[in-house]
């Protein structure tokens, strides 16, 4: 089954936008590198398998350390799998989820005061 690259890219870009409101520098860098790798491949298929995703990320980010490569790979893999799962939902399930989440406000990260 094919998944739309546009939807995949939008999922990651949405995470990037959410991190602008209080995400750590490490997470912001991870999501920007994820967008970079996704933009270079322009397809979702390589990210549906974790080992393959790690290999692809290592190829595209050879100068990054292993921890960063693993984090970028995990972000790409999790988003690809979430897209796969959501594409397999029935219309009834989608309607139920839409009804339940209709009035929810977006979550924003807030720094805790010490």
Domain membership flag for residue 110 = no
Residue 85: its pLDDT value, please? Answer: 86
Encode the chain (114 residues) as per-residue pLDDT tens digits: 456 889 999 999 999 999 988 889 999 999 999 999 999 999 999 999 999 999 999 999 999 999 999 999 999 999 999 998 888 878 888 788 888 888 887 778 888 887
Instruction: Pick the closest to residue 5 from 83, 88, 85 (CA basis).
Output: 83
Domain membership flag for residue 44 = yes
Domain membership flag for residue 52 = yes
What domain range is 80 assigned to?
5-101
Domain membership flag for residue 63 = yes
Could you give the number of structural domains in the chain? 1
pTM summary value? 0.77
- At 103, is the secondary structure helix, strand, or coil? coil
């Amino acid at each position: 089954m094919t998944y739309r690259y546009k939807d995949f890219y939008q999922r990651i870009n949405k995470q990037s936008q959410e991190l602008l409101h209080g995400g750590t520098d490490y997470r912001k860098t991870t999501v920007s590198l994820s967008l970079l790798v996704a933009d270079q491949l322009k397809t979702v298929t390589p990210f549906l398998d974790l080992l393959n995703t790690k290999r692809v990320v290592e190829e595209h980010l050879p100068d990054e350390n292993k921890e960063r490569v693993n984090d970028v790979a995990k972000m790409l893999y999790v988003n690809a799998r979430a897209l796969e799962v959501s594409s397999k939902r029935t219309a009834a399930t989608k309607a139920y989820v839409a009804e339940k989440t209709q009035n929810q406000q977006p979550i924003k990260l807030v720094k805790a005061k010490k």
